[in-house]
Amino acid sequence: MSIQLPTKRKLNLEPGQPEIGQTLNIVARPQIQSKWCWASCIEMATDYKGNIIGQCLVANAAFNRLDCCVPNPKNPNNPVNPACNLTTTPSRMVLLCINYGYPRTRWIAGSLGIGQLITQIGGAHPVFAIIEWTTGGAHVVLVDGWGIDDSGTNWVGLNDPASGALIVRLTSLLAGFGYGSWTQSIVDM
């Protein structure tokens, strides 16, 4: 069996996997630098909300620079300044979203349950899930859909800046895909 979600995902479903109960159909965008998952998530969310802001502009704003994307003679196929390939904090992500015109954006400690995800997605608010790896470091993915199958298993649709559009069990996301845990969230964008 397969399902076609408009303009976004075509998946071969395993038995029991649901059709997404609701999806925002946010276009997946890969991170253009190894540490820019956060910038990719902001780009995807602002694009969905109608305010197209690329990762380079997001990084310039985050780091108070003007040169995050300039010609790079060492690598002409990648115009990103390596000095800007940095992580950022959830509080800075929230401030960026507020500055881009989304004043209700807020950070919360912890993950969201299916009820909270239904509320966020139902309100047209993508969710940034911040995963902390057990080996150190973190990763940000954008949750833009939810579903519940016939057995009661909760599923989420997400855009992973490193892997693309996915549908996974909520328990897998909560467990950081087996490599950590979802510890922080950015909501109400």
The pLDDT tens digits of the residues spanning 10-24 come to: 333 455 555 568 999
Answer yes or no: is 22 within a domain: no
Q: Is residue 94 part of a domain?
A: yes
Give the rounded percent of residues in the chain with a pLDDT score beyond 90: 76
- Amino acid 173: pLDDT: 98
Provide CB contacts within 8 A for 159, sequence distance 6+. 26, 27, 28, 29, 41, 44, 141, 142, 144, 165, 166
Rounded mean pLDDT of the chain? 88
- Whether residue 109 is predicted with pLDDT greater than 80 in this model: the reply is yes
Answer yes or no: is 27 within a domain.
no
This model's pTM is above 0.85? yes
Q: What pLDDT sits at residue 5?
A: 34
Assess if residue 69 is contained within a domain.
Answer: yes
User: Looking at the domain assignment, is residue 9 inside a domain?
Assistant: no
Q: How would residue 76 be classed by pLDDT, with cut points 50, 70 and 90?
A: low
Task: Check pLDDT > 60 for residue 105.
Answer: yes
The CATH number covering residue 160 comes to 3.90.70.10
Q: What is the pLDDT of residue 77?
A: 58
Domain that includes residue 75, residue range: 33-187
Whether 17 is covered by a domain: the verdict is no
Number of separate domains in the chain:
1
Q: Is the dihedral of CA 114, 9, 88, 134 positive or negative?
A: positive
Residue 7 lies in a domain: no
- Give domain status of residue 15, yes or no: no
**Which pLDDT score, from 0 to 100, does residue 95 have?**
97
Asked which of 65-69, 112-116, 157-161, 181-185 is least confident by mean pLDDT, the reply is: 65-69
Helix (H) / strand (E) containing 157 = strand 154-160
Tell me what the mean pLDDT of segment 36-53 comes to. Answer: 95
